[in-house]
C-alpha cells in the first residue's frame, strides 16, 4: 500500500544531487509543493568539468539541462539555509515549512592556515576566476596532490603556468588509493613539466607564497588549496541530526528525523555491501542516489548500496576507480604499472580474501564495467587470471 504523499517537500542544496532529487520526485509522480533552495546564484551546474574543460578554456558554462516546466518547482537561488528546527528550514531570506526535507548541501573545501590569499576550486565562479589568473609564466602553487590538485596542475601547465604541487604525503593520491598505487602517478608530473614536492607539509599561506613546515619558503603568484573537502553541514547544528563525517543516513537515505533525508556529498550512507558508512564524494552518487531517495520518500523501500565509481583525467590519462578498497587485505597489479611502449594500460586490484573489492584502471575502460559487475556479484576471483591484462576481468570470476 502506498503511503500518503507529503504535501510540501523542501530540497536544500541546488547541486546535482538536489536537482536530480527534484527531477526524480516529479517523474515518480509527486504532485505536491516542491521547493529547491540553493545558496549559489547560478542554476544547478556540473562540477567535474570545472577542473577539466572549464580551466582548459574549452567550456564556460556547465549548467545542467532540465525541463523546468515538468519540474514545476519553486527554485530559490542565492538563498542559504541557516537552520533546521521543528519542521521548518530557515534561510537568510525566508522560512520554509515542510512535510519532508531533503538535504543536499554538498561539501566545501578545507582552507589552509595563514593570512595570505588562497583560492579553491569548488564552484563555477572559482573555476572562471582561477582561469583568468592561469596565464603563461604565472607561478602557481597547488597544495595537495589528490584528484583536484592533479587535475588543476594538468590544466595550469597546459596554460603555460609554472606549477609546483606540494604534498604532505609520500605520494600523489596516497589518501584515496594508497601510496604504493599513487606513487605510479608521480612520474606524470615531471613528464608534464610540473614540479612535485612530496613529504612537504605547508605551515601557512602568506603574501607572496607558502611558508613550509621545514622552514622553507615557496614563492608563488597564486596559491590554490586542494587538500580536501568537508560536508556542508554547519547549518544543521542543533537540529537533532547525527552529523559526524556527513549527515548519517541509513540504507534508505533516511536520517534519524522522520521525513528528513540526505543525499550526495553531504550524506554518509550505510553500505551493507561494504559493512561500513560511506561518503564517497563521487559524481555518480549525486547522479544516481536521488532516484532511490525519491522512491523511498514516495512510499518505497529501496536500498542504496552501490559499488562506488569515480573517474579523474590527469596529465592525458583517464583514471577510473570502482569499489572501496578500505576492507582489502592485499593489492595485486593487473598488467605492468607505468608506461609500456609509450602506452599506459594497467590496473590495481584490491582483494578481501578471494573477492575483488576495488579496482583502479588506467587506460583500461572495459575493466571498470566488468569489475563493477564482479564486485557486485561478490564472486571469488582467480588471482592469476585477474593479473593478466589480456584476459577480461570477468573471466577471473569463479562461478
Ligand atoms: C572541480 C571538481 C571536479 C570534480 N571532478 C569529479 C570527477 O572527475 N569525477 C567524479 O566522480 N566526481 C568529481 N567531482 C565531485 C562531484 O562533482 C561531486 O561529488 C558532486 O558535485 C556532488 O554533488 P552534490 O549535489 O552532492 O553537492 P554539490 O555539487 O556541492 O552541491 C551542493 C549545493 O548546495 C549548496 N549549498 C550548500 N550549503 C547550502 C545551504 N546552507 N543552503 C542552500 N544551499 C546550500 C551549494 O552552494 C551547492 O551549490 C568533482 C568536484 C569538483 C569540485
Please tell me the distance between residue 207's alpha carbon and the centre of ligand 1 in angstroms: 29
The finding on whether 323 has its CB within 6 A of some atom of ligand 1 is no
Shared-domain flag, residues 209 and 149: yes
Shared-domain flag, residues 247 and 343: no
| Residue from 10, 12, 15 whose mutation best tests the ligand 1 pocket (most atoms within 8 A of CB) | 15
pLDDT above 80 for 219: yes
Task: Write down which residue in 240, 266, 297 finishes a domain.
Answer: 297
Residue 200 lies in a domain: yes
Residue 42 lies in a domain: yes
Per-residue three-class SS string for the chain? CCCCCCCEEEEECCCHHHHHHHHHHHHCCCCCEEEEEECCCCCCECCHHHHCHHHHCCCCCCECCCCHHHHCCEEEECCCEEEEECCEEEECCCEEECCEEEECCCEEECCCCCCCCCECCCCHHHHHHHHHHCCCCCEEEEECCCHHHHHHHHHHHHCCCEEEEECCCCCCCHHHHCHHHHHHHHHHHHHHCCEEECCCCEEEEECCEEEECCCCEEECCEEEECCCEEECCHHHCCCCCCEECEEEECCCCECCCCCEEECHHHEEEEECCCCEEECCCCHHHHHHHHHHHHHHHCCCCCCCCCCCEEEEEECCEEEEEEECHHHCCEEEEECCCCCECCECCEEEEEEECCEEEEEEEECCHHHHHHHHHHHHHCCEECHHHHHCCCCCHHHHECC
- 239-255: pLDDT as tens digits: 999 998 999 999 999 99
Please tell me the distance between residue 3's alpha carbon and the centre of ligand 1 in angstroms: 31
Shared-domain flag, residues 278 and 144: no
Task: Write down which residue in 238, 267, 297 finishes a domain.
Answer: 297
Shared-domain flag, residues 158 and 190: yes
What residue's CA is closest to ligand 1, atom 48? Answer: 15
**Residue % of the chain over a pLDDT of 70:** 99
The mean pLDDT of 351-363, rounded to a whole number, is 97
pLDDT of residue 2: 55
Shared-domain flag, residues 207 and 234: no
Please tell me the distance between residue 89's alpha carbon and the centre of ligand 1 in angstroms: 21
Shared-domain flag, residues 123 and 221: yes
Residue 280 lies in a domain: yes
How far is Cα 325 from Cα 71, in angstroms, rounded to an integer? 38
Looking from the CA of residue 13, the nearest atom of ligand 1 is 34
Number of domains in the chain: 3
- Report the mean per-residue pLDDT for the chain: 96
Looking from the CA of residue 310, the nearest atom of ligand 1 is 11
The C-alpha angle with vertex 342 and arms to 338 and 347, in degrees rounded to 5, equals: 35
pLDDT of residue 303: 98
The mean pLDDT of 123-130, rounded to a whole number, is 98
Residue 302 lies in a domain: no
Asked if 335 and 348 count as a contact pair (C-beta separation under 8 A), the reply is: no
Shared-domain flag, residues 189 and 240: no
Closest among 327, 331, 323 to 350, alpha carbons compared: 331
- 266-301: pLDDT as tens digits: 999 999 999 999 999 999 999 999 999 999 999 999
Looking from the CA of residue 49, the nearest atom of ligand 1 is 3
Shared-domain flag, residues 207 and 78: no
- 134-161: pLDDT as tens digits: 999 999 999 999 999 999 999 999 999 9
Shared-domain flag, residues 147 and 215: yes
How far is Cα 176 from Cα 183, in angstroms, rounded to an integer? 12
pLDDT above 80 for 4: no
Range of the domain at 21: 8-108+229-297
Looking from the CA of residue 313, the nearest atom of ligand 1 is 8
Residue 307 lies in a domain: no
Task: Write the CB contacts of 234 (distance below 8 Å, at least 6 apart in sequence).
Answer: none
The finding on whether 287 has its CB within 6 A of some atom of ligand 1 is no
Shared-domain flag, residues 271 and 292: yes
Provide the CATH number for the domain around residue 363: 3.30.390.30
Residue 199 C-alpha cell reads as 613529504
pLDDT of residue 3: 65
What residue's CA is closest to ligand 1, atom 26? Answer: 264
Residue 2 lies in a domain: no
Residue 305 lies in a domain: no
Residue 340 lies in a domain: yes
Provide the CATH number for the domain around residue 174: 3.50.50.60
Shared-domain flag, residues 180 and 251: no
- 16-55: pLDDT as tens digits: 999 999 999 999 999 999 999 999 999 999 999 999 999 9
Shared-domain flag, residues 138 and 211: yes
The finding on whether 83 has its CB within 6 A of some atom of ligand 1 is no
Looking from the CA of residue 229, the nearest atom of ligand 1 is 53
The finding on whether 311 has its CB within 6 A of some atom of ligand 1 is yes
Task: Write down which residue in 297, 324, 343 finishes a domain.
Answer: 297
b or e along 43-62 (b: 16 or more beta carbons within 10 Å of the residue's beta carbon)? ebbbbbbbbbbbbbeeeeeb
pLDDT above 90 for 399: no
The finding on whether 155 has its CB within 6 A of some atom of ligand 1 is no
Amino acid at each position: 500500500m502506498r503511503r500518503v504523499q507529503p504535501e510540501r517537500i523542501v530540497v536544500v542544496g541546488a547541486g546535482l544531487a538536489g536537482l536530480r532529487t527534484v527531477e526524480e520526485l516529479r517523474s515518480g509522480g509527486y504532485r505536491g509543493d516542491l521547493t529547491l533552495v540553493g545558496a549559489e546564484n547560478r542554476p544547478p551546474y556540473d562540477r567535474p568539468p570545472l577542473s577539466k574543460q572549464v580551466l582548459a578554456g574549452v567550456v564556460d558554462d556547465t549548467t545542467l539541462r532540465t525541463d523546468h516546466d515538468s519540474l514545476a518547482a519553486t527554485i530559490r537561488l542565492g538563498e542559504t539555509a541557516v537552520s533546521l528546527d521543528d519542521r521548518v528550514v530557515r534561510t537568510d531570506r525566508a522560512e520554509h515549512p515542510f512535510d519532508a526535507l531533503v538535504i543536499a548541501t554538498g561539501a566545501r573545501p578545507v582552507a589552509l592556515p595563514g593570512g595570505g590569499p588562497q583560492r579553491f576550486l569548488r564552484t563555477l565562479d572559482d573555476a572562471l576566476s582561477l582561469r583568468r589568473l592561469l596565464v603563461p609564466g604565472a607561478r602557481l602553487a597547488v597544495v595537495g596532490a589528490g584528484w583536484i590538485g592533479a587535475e588543476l596542475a594538468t590544466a595550469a601547465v597546459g596554460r603555460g603556468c609554472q606549477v609546483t604541487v606540494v604534498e604532505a604525503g609520500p605520494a600523489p593520491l596516497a589518501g584515496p588509493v594508497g601510496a604504493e598505487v599513487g606513487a605510479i602517478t608521480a612520474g606524470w608530473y615531471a613528464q608534464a613539466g610540473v614540479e612535485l614536492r612530496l613529504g612537504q607539509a605547508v605551515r601557512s599561506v602568506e603574501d607572496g607564497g607558502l611558508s613550509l613546515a621545514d622552514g622553507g619558503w615557496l614563492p608563488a603568484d597564486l596559491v590554490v588549496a586542494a587538500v580536501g573537502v568537508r560536508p556542508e553541514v554547519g547549518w544543521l547544528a542543533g537540529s537533532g541530526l547525527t552529523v559526524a563525517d556527513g549527515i548519517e543516513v541509513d540504507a534508505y537515505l533516511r536520517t534519524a528525523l522522520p521525513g528528513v533525508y540526505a543525499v550526495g556529498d553531504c550524506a554518509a550512507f550505510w553500505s551493507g555491501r561494504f559493512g561500513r558508512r560511506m561518503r564517497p564524494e563521487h559524481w555518480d552518487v549525486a547522479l544516481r542516489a536521488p532516484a532511490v531517495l525519491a522512491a523511498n520518500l514516495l512510499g518505497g523501500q529501496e536500498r542504496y548500496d552501490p559499488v562506488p565509481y569515480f573517474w579523474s583525467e590527469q596529465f592525458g590519462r583517464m583514471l577510473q576507480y570502482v569499489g572501496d578498497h578500505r576492507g582489502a587485505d592485499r593489492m595485486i597489479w593487473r598488467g605492468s604499472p607505468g608506461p609500456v611502449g609509450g602506452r599506459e594500460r594497467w590496473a590495481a586490484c584490491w582483494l578481501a580474501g578471494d573477492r575483488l573489492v576495488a579496482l583502479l584502471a588506467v587506460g583500461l575502460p572495459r575493466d571498470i564495467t566488468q569489475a563493477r559487475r564482479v564486485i557486485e556479484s561478490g564472486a571469488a576471483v582467480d588471482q592469476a587470471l585477474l593479473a593478466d591484462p589480456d584476459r577480461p576481468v570477468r573471466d577471473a570470476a569463479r562461478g
